[in-house]
Homo-oligomer: A and B are copies of this chain.
Amino acid sequence: MTQLASHYLETFPNPALGRDYTIRIDIPEFTCLCPKTGQPDFAVIKLEYVPDQVCVELKSLKLYIWGFRDQGAFHEAVTNQILADLVAVTMPKFMRIRAEFNVRGGIYTTVIVEHQQPDWQPPVYIQLA
């Protein structure tokens, strides 16, 4: 777990332990620094997860995300790091992170990473009429 995660991320007990349900969190204000040039990068981070024992506390998540403001971070690495930190802290049944980075040098990059408990069964979506 990174220092940012241990410093900021907090959890609270899942209020509905016996139930698989979805929490979706969109964070359009992610910014960090390019580790090569020191120039700012920007991204939209989209998180969705099925909690197990704990949920991530939203204000602590906001502070954790703000903590990247002064950090150098490659696109692929930082997306995996955010997943690793959130998995380490919340140990969810399933988690997906999608990071859509702003254009740099005429190139648009998106990174999508997932974590899943080995024995978790994904739900079948029920489509009512």
Q: Which A residues are closer than 8 A to B by beta carbons?
A: 12, 14-16, 19, 21-29, 31, 36, 39-40, 42, 48, 50-51, 55, 58-59, 61-62, 66, 69, 74-77, 79-81, 83-84, 94, 96, 98, 102-116, 122-129
Contacting residues, chain B, for A40 (C-beta < 8 A): 29, 31, 66, 69, 106
In the complex, are the beta carbons of B27 and A106 less than 8 A apart?
A: yes
Decide if the interface of chain A is mainly helix, strand, loop or mixed.
mixed
Contacting residues, chain B, for A14 (C-beta < 8 A): 76
Contacting residues, chain B, for A106 (C-beta < 8 A): 27-29, 40, 42, 62, 102-104
Contacting residues, chain B, for A83 (C-beta < 8 A): 16
